[in-house]
Amino acid sequence: MSVLRLATRRSPLAVLQAEYVQAQLNAHGFKSELVHIETSGDARPDVSLTTLGGQGVFAIEIQRAVLDGNADVAVHSAKDLPSQTPAGLMLASVPERRDAADVLVGRSLAGLGPGATVATGSPRRRALLLERRPDLRIVDLRGNMAKRLANAGHDGVDAIVTAAAALDRLGSNDLIAERLDTAWFVPQVGQGALALEVRDDDLDTKATLAKITDVDAMEAVLAERSFLGELGVGCSIPAGAYATLNGGIISLCGVMLAVDGSRSVRAALTGRNPGELGRMLAKQLRDEGGGGALPGWDT
């Protein structure tokens, strides 16, 4: 039996995610090893994601390792993927998804006084916070999870925003001051999920990964990614989408915001076809937002 090579970022959280995939494969009798890759996003931890180019900075080098034959599987946080899958690759598997919500660490929203400082590197999180609390001061946040978490309560930062799933994988749920309701604080596309890519002609590896695929999670991520692909944007634009399934029916909600949170449009649709549903929702939000020209929208 051949050993599957799993390409992953070097960060502690990314390695934990890849090790989870390893454990799932091992439970089905498949052997694997990790291939550690330094991404452009990791190599420049002090530069904002917007400056670096947003989505893709944590994925491109990992995808390249698979395309070049140096690895068999690219292991990503699904939220880090660009809106379009590169030629030669396919999204082969999404294992069981963890909580997709965002959380506050340091203080709850109600516990933040007027003019309090919150750190986040995400335009979506920034805009959603300002939508409800325009008095807040939002500052940038980069670095690995340990560095991010250390910011809360230090150097004038009252709280940070991060993903519930990240803290869960790190065993740090006790740090959560508040879980933000996904109906309002709509998550980033793919948040809480892992995405496993393979070469599109590698049908054997695709079949192997099918053993660890959560069908509902896969459908949900496909719907959310279809939404993102129709918008044609990455994480530099304040937009989010979140899908859940019940009896084969996909419920997909989405949001688009002005960069300063001063205006937002929301909608929700249900259906069975993830690709069609994501595209329809994106078009609806774009139309309701005046073709995407929301006040303060940096296009």
The residues carrying an active-site annotation are 79-80, 124-125, 142, 148, 235
Distance from C-alpha of 227 to C-alpha of 230, rounded to nearest angstrom: 5
Distance from C-alpha of 216 to C-alpha of 94, rounded to nearest angstrom: 9
* β-bridge pairing 194-199 and 176-179: unpaired
Is the sign of the CA dihedral 159, 165, 170, 171 positive or negative?
A: positive
Distance from C-alpha of 279 to C-alpha of 250, rounded to nearest angstrom: 13
Distance from C-alpha of 34 to C-alpha of 71, rounded to nearest angstrom: 9
> Is the CB of residue 165 less than 8 Å from the CB of residue 14?
no
Residue with tokens 């007027």: 114
Q: Which residues contact 164 (CB under 8 A, 6 or more apart)?
A: 98, 99, 100, 101, 102, 103, 173, 176, 179, 192
> Is the CB of residue 136 less than 8 Å from the CB of residue 116?
yes
In the numeric block, which tokens belong to residue 90? 């396919």
Distance from C-alpha of 178 to C-alpha of 17, rounded to nearest angstrom: 24
Rounded to 5°, the CA angle 92-82-238 comes to 130
